[in-house]
Structure 1
Amino acid sequence: MSVRYSPIGLALYMLKLLAQQQRKRAELVDLVAEYLEGSDRNISDVQQKCDRTLRELRDCGFEIHCAPHRPYTLLESNFPLILSAAQREALQQGGQFLADMGFSAQAQLLVRLSEQSESQGAAKIRGDFFPPADYGSPHLRRILAELQDRCDGQRRFTIRYIDSQKRDRTWDLDRCEVRSHDGALYLFAFVPDSSTSSYPEPVYKNRLFRIDRIQSVGPASAQTWMRSAFPTLTIRYRMTGPLATYEPRRSHERVITRNLPEGYVEIETVEDYPFWFRQRIFRYGSHARVLSPPHVVEEISNELQRAARNYQNPGH
């Protein structure tokens, strides 16, 4: 059954194609030709019709980018949205969360979709985020896009990184992914050649790289990732007193035993970055105790003893 041709229908079809992905000129013309072949009219000069429709879409406010030898890219749609008050509020709140997390450019997109200015209405929920950088800046958006591309390709690559001590080094990375932790974005990666830990377990070859300290991302190599998953370490700990009723919220934690009459619960957790576990366990103070493995017990104990010594001579 043929489709009735209309300029509006063609414009909507082309917007749909560009919203799906970038399109090279030849690809866009071929797809439009297929669309027009199914219409009730014999349409000629498909290429001219595409060019004219694209000009009209730009005149209507749709930002469509194209450069020589580059595909057409829909940067921003100006298509009218009919939203309820609840939907506008949800978009506004999402934009506020993104802004608090350091994604200013992405937050602006949501604010414009909700058709509200940033000053309209105070946010009902405030996020407790303190990002070290604006992840919406052009440089960090490029870094994040390149990292996502390398992660999707699952091939080893290098990054140039400047750490907190201002040391500039190139790292050769295996399996990796971008993670958010305590208001900051990190590249979490397995580094086969890392030798900074005295422990033999491969979990200590997992490393963190703060996104805003990555200077550049190298091209993907021909070598595929050597690991199908990050190495992990199984840790058991006990919560006592008011924390005996603690219910794990993380998918990698499970309750081993709970004894409310004696006031404790034992939990087993599978961690791929022990440092983050240490940070978490310190928050529970005297109501938490690590039970195994022995080297983690010793590490936590030594750290707490060093912290206690800071308060033994308050005058120094």
Structure 2
Amino acid sequence: MPRKKETLTLSIPPGTKAQLEEIARRLNIFWGKSPSPSGLISAIARQELEVGKPFTLTSEQVNALQQATAALIDAGHVEAAKTILTLLLDRGNLEPPLRQSLLQQIGKPTEPWRIEVEKFINQEQPFRLLYRNSQGQDLDYTVRYAEICFYEKRFYLQVWCEETADVEEEMADLPELWHNRCFRLDRIQAILPTSGGWRGEFDAIEVYLHFYGWLVKAYQPKPEDIDDKVMGEVRQVVRRVVNHFWFLREISRYWEDCVILSPESMRQRMQKKVQRLCHLYDLL
């Protein structure tokens, strides 16, 4: 028996029917082969469609969701991260470079490496790590100690590994740190257990810092600080450093209110960065 239907008469401006048909066509609402304004109105009444101004994410919301995505991937919650990526692509008013980057992320298979890594760490199990760096190079390491560390905006895998050949030239002045590496979790390609012992700690150097001006009182001690004292108008901090890259990035934010005293190798690294910066700004 045919279902009883109600009739609704609408008075609409010229061109509105064509606009409704176009919306129905876009939403795949048809009567036979023709787009159906009636079906469109029925779907709105059943609250199956969103009406009004389309919901879009603000730039602040996009930034927050990007950070959440990175944190979820690092924590091993890959499917949840892909759900947020889909939301960003659907509802974010994205510039083409960012949209392309997110499309690449959502199409790239990502294993929950943090879960696997933490299992090996808890078991003190050495492992082989296959890693693809930012230059597209595949590198292989034998890891005998590891920690999940947070630097700036995300978690990283920091390790002590046997291999040193890939950094000996770049870090000729810091042989004490040749065995330490820091990896992005989402660039890990494979992890396999291997034989041998577990070290229990990273290699490290002690770096002496002097803080001046407002930082004498404002400096917040870090877990890696092994000595901290105020001497007149100077605050001296001794820091145990296992990764020179992140250390230099951290103290760079203090500008002229922080100076590396020793070791000379670390002091010279900062000097080279300052010289390069001066050159770029035509000060040399």
TM-score scaled by length of structure 2: 0.59
- Cα distance, 1:168 vs. partner? 1.4
Question: 2:217 aligned with 1:245, yes or no?
Answer: yes
Match of 1:102 among 52, 64, 71: 71
- Cα distance, 1:106 vs. partner? 5.7
Q: Structure 1 residues 193 and 97, CA, compared in 2 at 3 Å: closer, same or farther?
A: closer
Match of 2:237 among 267, 278, 291: 267
What is the distance in 2 between the residues matched to 1:97 and 1:310?
Answer: 31
Q: List structure 1 runs of 4+ shifted beyond 6 angstroms.
A: 135-138
> Conserved in 2, the CA contact under 8 Å of 1:103 and 1:136?
no
> Conserved in 2, the CA contact under 8 Å of 1:98 and 1:106?
no
**Number of positions where the alignment pairs a residue of Structure 1 with one of Structure 2:** 195
Q: Structure 1 residues 247 and 232, CA, compared in 2 at 3 Å: closer, same or farther?
A: same
> Conserved in 2, the CA contact under 8 Å of 1:190 and 1:206?
yes
Match of 2:194 among 218, 221, 234: 221
Give the equivalent residue in structure 1 for 2:261: 291
What is the DSSP-based 3-state SS (H/G/I as helix, E as strand, rest coil) of the residue aligned with 2:238?
A: strand
What is the distance in 2 between the residues matched to 1:160 and 1:107?
Answer: 19
Matched residue type, 2:121: C
Moved more, 301-310 or 174-183: 174-183
Q: Structure 1 residues 148 and 305, CA, compared in 2 at 3 Å: closer, same or farther?
A: same
What is the distance in 2 between the residues matched to 1:148 and 1:254?
Answer: 27
Match of 1:258 among 230, 234, 254: 230
Question: 2:163 aligned with 1:193, yes or no?
Answer: yes
What is the distance in 2 between the residues matched to 1:250 and 1:205?
Answer: 23
- Correspondence 1:22-171 to 2 at 5 A: 99=68, 102-103=71-72, 140=110, 142-171=112-141
- Cα distance, 1:203 vs. partner? 2.5
Q: CA RMSD in A?
A: 3.4
What is the distance in 1 between the residues matched to 2:161 and 2:271?
Answer: 28
Which blocks of at least 5 consecutive residues in structure 2 are unaligned? 1-64, 81-86, 88-100
Give the equivalent residue in structure 2 for 1:230: 202
1:208-267 C-alpha deviation (Å, 9 max, x unpaired): 11111111112x122122x2211111000111122221343312215544245xx32111
Give the equivalent residue in structure 2 for 1:207: 181
Identity among equivalent pairs (%): 18
Match of 1:302 among 250, 272, 278: 272
Give the equivalent residue in structure 1 for 2:249: 279
What is the distance in 2 between the residues matched to 1:258 and 1:176?
Answer: 34
Matched residue type, 1:308: C
What is the DSSP-based 3-state SS (H/G/I as helix, E as strand, rest coil) of the residue aligned with 1:175?
A: strand
> Conserved in 2, the CA contact under 8 Å of 1:106 and 1:136?
no
> Conserved in 1, the CA contact under 8 Å of 2:208 and 2:262?
yes
Q: Which has the higher contact order (CA 8 A, sep 6+)?
A: 2
> Conserved in 2, the CA contact under 8 Å of 1:186 and 1:209?
yes
Q: Structure 1 residues 142 and 194, CA, compared in 2 at 3 Å: closer, same or farther?
A: same
Q: Structure 1 residues 106 and 207, CA, compared in 2 at 3 Å: closer, same or farther?
A: closer
Matched residue type, 2:164: S
> Conserved in 2, the CA contact under 8 Å of 1:240 and 1:264?
yes
- Cα distance, 1:144 vs. partner? 1.9
What is the distance in 2 between the residues matched to 1:156 and 1:210?
Answer: 18
1:176-225 C-alpha deviation (Å, 9 max, x unpaired): 1222222222111111221312136433310011111111112x122122
Moved more, 229-238 or 186-195: 186-195
TM-score scaled by length of structure 1: 0.53
What is the distance in 1 between the residues matched to 2:67 and 2:279?
Answer: 41
What is the distance in 1 between the residues matched to 2:149 and 2:106?
Answer: 16
Which blocks of at least 5 consecutive residues in structure 1 are unaligned? 1-95, 110-117, 119-131
Question: Which of structures 1 and 2 has the bigger CA Rg?
Answer: 2
